[in-house]
Amino acid sequence: MPARALVAVFVLGVALLPGPRAGLAAPERPPMMPFDPPLKWKMDPAVYRQDFTKTDTWKAVTGRLDWRADAMLLPAEPASKALFVAFPHHRPGGSAAYLLRLRFGDPARGAFKIAVNVFDHTVNVLGGRPRFPDQMRLGAEDSLAWTPEGGAVARLQDQAGPIAWRPEPGREYDIRFVCVDRFKALFINGERIAAAWVQTPWVGVEGDLTLESSGLELTLSGLEVRQTGWDLPARRYERGELLDADDFTDPAATERGWVYELKDAGEAVRKPLLRDGWLRAEPYSAVWRRRAGDGPVIYTFDCRPVPKDPARPETITDAIFFFQASWYNLPFDFFIRKHYDERHSVYGDLQGYWLDWGGNGNRTTRLRKLPYRQLLLQSIAPEDQLKPGRIHAVEMLCADSELRFSADGRVILQCFDLTPYRSGHFGMLGFVRATEIRNFKVYRARLVE
């Protein structure tokens, strides 16, 4: 090829190259994607309902709040922002819905924003640096915003776009933010305004609710938080073939079949602790079953929480278990590295199901999906907590999309995961207090037609 032709090809190629950062930076507001969920979903009774006599449930971040007998007002000031703080430790999240009843001032004179499931991706949920690519984003939220210049904009996590809606002064609106698994939607007065299917629903870590206004009055006259889920019929399973078992009466067999980890990096692997037929996870330690459970399976064992003071059985805390656990980025060998340290930071790299069974001061029982700690379901009922001094018979079903946690013959948590983990390892974590199990068994889960 002549030299002049080569130069022409080179110049043309340079001209066609993308400019600086082209194709690298995600758009600030990706278009809203209309989406119909693959299944019907349901909404359970409220787990929280706003009581306007309790003025400590909201915090004024900027500006002030005016309380009435049946409402809370953000005055028409230059900038007012209120943060919902009724849940002191674990916010509502996972498959959940926020139901708000709101009135607005003159939309031509000011702006407002309602945001739920607010999360900052730049901070790792378990401490330290971000571990996954989508934690590098600037942030995520589900929101409805209005400005006189730009109109109404709906945002569902990282998808956003304008919507054809204009609030009328003084009219009451029923605004609902709904999340079911990875399906998110915004409803206004019963009409679905926007919907999206998100890759990772950031709702199980933070569930902060914020109200902001500038130049117009915003009145909250109702708030409920409800659990949601896929409306699927629960199937009946029975215990089939026995796949794995340990009664903890043979120390040598237990030593071969379990890995015991302490928070101290110098003592990452030690012999499991056995006491009278019980396998114990001491505070800030973890115990892992070497043999993986390939689903569908049913895990069964007896569990008892160990009190801090033997003379005071009530000094227990929650018990934490892992099911179908594997490495997010090291699928070939689960025991190639340590899983646990005192800062929990290693768990950011695990995938599987995390069951946190509440007891004493921790009054919530939660089932999460790792690696993003997505909250699948939770219960705050007192009868669903660990009982001091009692030995509980535990059963955990992991069968295709169905997950069911039962204790003493009663179902505590039951939900459906449309993208389930079908195999992995069982683990037990001793957190603030020790936890013990005995009679560990894994059965094939057999569907009863």
**421-433 pLDDT tens trace:** 999 999 998 877 7
Q: Region 198-209: what's the mean pLDDT?
A: 60
Regarding predicted confidence, which is higher, 14 or 289?
Answer: 289
Q: Region 288-305: what's the mean pLDDT?
A: 92
Q: What is the mean pLDDT of the chain?
A: 79
Please give the structure tokens belonging to residue 119. 């999360």
pLDDT reported for residue 249: 93
Q: Is the pLDDT of residue 406 over 90?
A: yes
pLDDT digits (tens, 9 = 90+) for 242-272: 999 999 999 999 989 998 877 654 444 456 7
Q: Region 354-374: what's the mean pLDDT?
A: 78
pLDDT band (50, 70, 90) for residue 338: low
Regarding predicted confidence, which is higher, 94 or 4?
Answer: 94
Q: Is the pTM of this model over 0.75?
A: no
> Residue ranges per domain, the chain?
41-230, 237-447
Angstrom distance (rounded) from CA 204 to CA 201: 8
Q: Is the pLDDT of residue 4 over 70?
A: no
pLDDT band (50, 70, 90) for residue 203: very low
Q: Is the pLDDT of residue 291 over 80?
A: yes
pLDDT band (50, 70, 90) for residue 119: low
Q: Is the pLDDT of residue 137 over 70?
A: no
Which one is the CATH code of 41-230: 2.30.30.140, 2.60.120.560, 3.40.47.10, 2.60.40.1220?
2.60.120.560
For the chain, percent of residues with pLDDT exceeding 90:
41
pLDDT band (50, 70, 90) for residue 275: confident
pLDDT reported for residue 279: 94
Q: Region 406-415: what's the mean pLDDT?
A: 90
Q: How far apart are the first and last CA of the chain?
A: 73
pLDDT reported for residue 159: 86
pLDDT digits (tens, 9 = 90+) for 367-386: 888 876 677 777 777 788 88
Class of domain 237-447: mainly beta
For the chain, percent of residues with pLDDT exceeding 70:
76
Q: Is the pLDDT of residue 302 over 50?
A: yes
Q: Is the pLDDT of residue 118 over 80?
A: no
Q: Region 282-291: what's the mean pLDDT?
A: 86
Q: What is the 3-state secondary structure (H, E, C) of the chain?
A: CCHHHHHHHHHHHHHHCCCCCCCCCCCCCCCCCCCCCCCCEEEEEEEEECCCCCHHHEEEEECCCEECCCCEEECCCCCEEEEECCCCCCCCCCCEEEEEEEEECCCCCCEEEEEEEEECCCCCCCCCCCCCHHHHCCCEEEEEEEECCCEEEEEECCEEEEECCCCCCCCEEEEEEEEECCEEEEEECCEEEEEEECCCCCCCCCCEEEEEEECCCEEEEEEEEEEEEECCCCCCEEEEEEEEEECCCCHHHHHHHEEEEECCHHHCCECCEEECCEEEECCCEEEEECCCEECCEEEEEEEEECCCECCECCCCCCEEEEEEEEECCCCCCCCCCCCCCCCCHHHHHEEEEEEEECECCECCEEEEEECCCEEEEEECCHHHCCCCCCCEEEEEEEECCEEEEEECCEEEEEEECCCCCCEEEEEEEECCCCEEEEEEEEEEEEECC
Q: Is the pLDDT of residue 185 over 90?
A: yes
Highest-pLDDT range among 139-148, 193-202, 209-218: 209-218
pLDDT reported for residue 336: 66
Q: Do domains 41-230 and 237-447 have the same CATH topology?
A: yes
Q: Region 433-440: what's the mean pLDDT?
A: 91
pLDDT reported for residue 115: 92
pLDDT reported for residue 64: 92
Angstrom distance (rounded) from CA 337 to CA 334: 7
pLDDT digits (tens, 9 = 90+) for 42-82: 888 777 889 999 998 899 999 999 999 999 999 999 999 99
Angstrom distance (rounded) from CA 419 to CA 317: 31
Query: Of 136-145, 198-207, 279-288, 369-378, which range is least confident?
Result: 198-207
pLDDT band (50, 70, 90) for residue 237: very high
